[in-house]
Amino acid sequence: MQPELEGLREKGLDFYLIVEGRQDVLRDFFGQYPLSAPVLWDKDLAIFRDYDVLGLPMNFFLDRDGLLVDLKLGWGEDSLRETMELVDMLLAQ
């Protein structure tokens, strides 16, 4: 998904990565594998609890009003295509 982020941003999509774990480990990881999206550290797992995260990765899709439209657990061979279709639908609204 990393290669698509810049094009999606140009279309008006905001993308955030919410992570959990030890801050030093996360800092090392993202230092080695930088992303072109903001990384938010959920140190006390409040976001994970608020959204009932069942596993990782979990993708949440919010509309322009911040309402949850869809969510997807995991990532498979059709995930990028499905994600792009959903993003196109959301951006068309």
**CATH number of the domain bearing residue 58:** 3.40.30.10
Q: Please tell me the predicted confidence (pLDDT) of residue 41.
A: 93
Domain that holds residue 37: 2-92
pLDDT value at position 85?
Answer: 92
Q: What is the pLDDT of residue 36?
A: 84
* DSSP secondary structure code for residue 73 in this structure: E
Query: Rounded to 5 degrees, what are φ and ψ at 62?
Result: -110, 145
Q: Please, what's the largest Cα pairwise distance for the chain?
A: 40
Residue-level pLDDT, tens digit, the chain, 93 residues:
777 888 888 888 888 999 999 999 999 999 999 888 899 999 999 999 998 898 889 999 988 898 999 998 989 999 989 988 998 988 888
Total domains present in the chain: 1
First-to-last alpha carbon distance for the chain, in angstroms, is: 22
This prediction has a pTM of: 0.76
